[in-house]
Each structure stands twice: as C-alpha cells, then as structure tokens.
Amino acid sequence: MAVIRVRNTGQEISGEQDVRSFLTKNEVYYDHWDVNQLPSHLREKFNLSDEEKDQILKAFEKDIQDLSAKRGYVKWDVISLSDSTPNLEELLKKFEQVHTHTEDEVRVIAAGSGIFVIKGEEGYFDVVLSPGDVISVPEGNPHFFTLTDERKVVAIRLFIDPAGWVAHPYADPSFQQA
C-alpha cells in the first residue's frame, strides 16, 4: 500500500483509507490492484523481454480494460527500471524535474517501488508506491516520478493520447528537495 510523506510538515500518512482520502482531496486518483494476478516468475524480475512485458499486460488485462473504460485510456505499456537499465542515472535526472502534462500520468506498480512527488493544495508530497498501487496524477498538476532506494520498478503506464506524454517543464520556486 502507498504511503504519503508531506514535505513541508514531515507528516506521514498510511493505511488505504487515509491515503485514498488525502489523494482524493488533492485530486489524485488512487486504487490498489491484486498483484497475485501477476505470474510468480515475474514478481521480482526487472530486466524484461517484450514477451514478459506482454505477460504482465495480460495478467492485468481486466483491470486495465475497466480503468480505461472509466477514464478514457487507449494505449498502455510496461516500463522496467533497475540498476541494469542502460543510462539509468541520465533517465532519472530527466524524470526528477518538476513538470506537467496535457493528460493524466498513470502508473500501476507491478513490482518494486517508486515515488511520485506531487504538488498538492498545501505544497509538495511524496507518494511512495508499492506493488498493486495505481495512481493517476491529473493533467496540468506539477509532479515527477523517481525510484526509491530499492532502485527497481516495473510499472504499467496508461495513455489517452497514443503518442504518449509530453513533459512541460514547471519552474516552481516553492519546490524543495526532500
């Protein structure tokens, strides 16, 4: 289950209902899917073939279809990041810049963990995501995604625009690193 750390107060929020309530108040969609749908041989694998990525999508097909029908997603894929990812540090530097999109940014954590840093009503907060967590940062909301100290994640991304997201840099003097 996700855990939230509020940057300007140090408050930590846990428990599904409290997390969901906080995120809803900040207009961030949150859900949790059953990761037991994922074949066991893929639950701790972070260097994936295209066939294995397709197996992950197939495992979550019903959930993906249901969410897509509700929220208008038309395309999805799987990304995997770990220390074996070529140019990981360069990718993270690109990811770790506050930006916005013209559509929701959606992630479903299939394995590993990640952090969305999101600007909310009262400043920035971190959403630490674990397997099964589903999050959608609304269009136009400043945010970025990064890895936890575990440094590995497998995530399903869903898109409204088949071309994918375009990041629009967001200069925010109120943003501060944790």
Number of Cα atoms under 13 Å in the Cβ half of residue 47? 5
Q: Is the pLDDT of residue 114 over 90?
A: yes
Task: Return d(Cα 104, Cα 29) in angstroms, integer.
Answer: 10
What average pLDDT does the segment 84-98 reach? 82
74: its two tokens: 């038309």
Which residues, 6 or more positions from 154, have their beta carbon under 8 angstroms from its beta carbon? 42, 45, 46, 48, 56, 78, 79, 80, 109, 110, 111, 112
What average pLDDT does the segment 9-29 reach? 95
> Which pLDDT does position 164 carry in this prediction?
64
Assign 111 a pLDDT band (cuts: 50, 70, 90).
Answer: very high
Measured between alpha carbons, how far apart are the two ends of the chain, in Å? 21
Tens of pLDDT along 146-167?
A: 999 999 999 999 998 776 666 7
Mean pLDDT of the chain: 91
Assign 122 a pLDDT band (cuts: 50, 70, 90).
Answer: confident
> Which pLDDT does position 165 carry in this prediction?
65
Helix, strand and coil content of the chain, in percent to the nearest 5, comes to 25, 35, 40
Task: Return d(Cα 20, Cα 4) in angstroms, integer.
Answer: 10
Q: Is the pLDDT of residue 52 over 70?
A: yes
Q: Is the pLDDT of residue 130 over 60?
A: yes
pTM of the model: 0.91
> Which pLDDT does position 98 carry in this prediction?
84
Q: Is the pLDDT of residue 178 over 60?
A: no
> Which pLDDT does position 8 carry in this prediction?
87
Task: Return d(Cα 105, Cα 160) in angstroms, integer.
Answer: 9
DSSP 45: -
Task: Return d(Cα 59, Cα 55) in angstroms, integer.
Answer: 6
CATH class held by domain 3-169: mainly beta
10 Å CB burial of residue 112 (0-12, 13-18, 19+) is buried
What average pLDDT does the segment 64-93 reach? 91
CA 142 to chain centre: 14
> Which pLDDT does position 166 carry in this prediction?
67
